[in-house]
Chains A and B, each alone.
Chain A
Amino acid sequence: MAKDLNLEESHIAILDRPINCLFCEHDVFIPYVTYKNEVEPEMYAGIQANYTAVCTHCGSAIQFGEMSNVHVNPIITEAKLQAQKRCLLLALQILVQEKKIDDTVLTLAEEEQYFKVMVLLKSRTNQVEEMPALSCLAIALSQLSTHNIVDAMQVHRIILDESYPGIEPFLKQFIK
């Protein structure tokens, strides 16, 4: 679960019950995995992972010590979803162009058959539920890096600094 936390505006539920900010009652949070040095005398000295959700409205921070019953659901706006789909199509076009994948993947992406896109991108997948465009985009970008078509560090920096406004023009420059 911890790896699902991703600094995106999210709704959070504990034991399937949505949580609201204790101060302002809003329900949109930025989730973080946070670490602190923890020393327990005569027991051990170690690194303790916590999970911190910050309310986007008032800034109130809620901390969790255990995430097994916590579900984080990133909020995907229509604009963000469309940007994800455009970036996915660009990434797939580049992979097809470089002959790293069959061109049927483009048709599947246009028809939003993302599970089939995922299977083509990554032959070994044990995911059975419906795949979102974002998961396919992450794997497509990873494939572009693996095949040395794009610089992995540059992609990583753009994702961290600029998100979708930056990924789109970056990918377009590789389309011949």
Chain B
Amino acid sequence: MDRKHSNYEVQIIGKPLRCPHCDSAIFSHREVYLDIVSPNVDVDPFNEDPPEQLVLQSFTCNDCYNIQQFQQLTKGMETNIVCKQVD
């Protein structure tokens, strides 16, 4: 998900995203990557595959900084996350 660091109104599966703490509807966005494979396991030096990662879209409330995270799910041309830039 290519997105610059702006403010957004967000819809998840067609439902407006609100902050559960302060009810704000404006969020900033970051994409975050979580390793799924433990970095402590023995690494095969000949394996050039990058570590498996869980990619989440992270939305931080502009008022209270509460964070909500979603995995982007796509089905054909449809996606669960729709963002509208507001500034």
Q: Which A residues, 136 to 156, have Cβ-Cβ distances below 8 Å to chain B?
A: none
A35 with B38, Cβ < 8 A, contacts A59-B12, A61-B56 known: yes
Q: Contact between B12 and A47 (Cβ–Cβ < 8 Å)?
A: no
Nearest CB of chain A from residue B52's CB, rounded to whole Å: 10
State how many residues of chain A have any CB contact under 8 Å with chain B.
20
Over the window 52-82 of chain B, the binary record of Cβ atoms lying under 8 Å from chain A Cβ atoms (1 yes, 0 no) is 0010100000000000111111000000110
The stretch of A50-58, A75-83, A89-97, A161-169 that contacts the partner chain: A50-58
Q: Is B22 among interface residues, defined by CB-CB distance under 8 A?
A: no
Over the window 1-34 of chain A, the binary record of Cβ atoms lying under 8 Å from chain B Cβ atoms (1 yes, 0 no) is 0000000000000000000001110000000111
Nearest CB of chain B from residue A164's CB, rounded to whole Å: 21
* Chain A residue nearest to B38 in the complex (CB): A35
Nearest CB of chain A from residue B53's CB, rounded to whole Å: 9
**Residue of A23, A49, A54, A59 with highest tally of chain B CB at under 10 A:** A59
Q: Contact between A58 and B80 (Cβ–Cβ < 8 Å)?
A: yes
Q: Contact between B34 and A32 (Cβ–Cβ < 8 Å)?
A: yes
Q: Which B residues, 1 to 58, have Cβ-Cβ distances below 8 Å to chain A?
A: 12-13, 15, 17, 20, 34-40, 54, 56
Q: Contact between B36 and A32 (Cβ–Cβ < 8 Å)?
A: yes
B80 neighbours in A (Cβ, 8 Å): 58-59
A58 neighbours in B (Cβ, 8 Å): 12-13, 15, 70, 73, 80
28 contacting pairs across A/B (C-beta < 8 A): A22-B20, A23-B12, A23-B68, A24-B12, A24-B15, A32-B36, A33-B36, A34-B34, A34-B35, A34-B54, A35-B36, A35-B37, A36-B34, A47-B38, A47-B40, A49-B38, A50-B34, A52-B54, A54-B54, A57-B13, A58-B70, A58-B73, A58-B80, A59-B70, A59-B72, A60-B69, A61-B70, A61-B71
New contact pairs (14) apart from A24-B12, A34-B36, CB-CB < 8 Å: A33-B36, A35-B37, A36-B35, A37-B39, A47-B39, A54-B54, A58-B12, A58-B13, A58-B73, A59-B70, A59-B71, A59-B80, A59-B81, A60-B12
Interface residues of B (CB under 8 A from A): 12-13, 15, 17, 20, 34-40, 54, 56, 68-73, 80-81
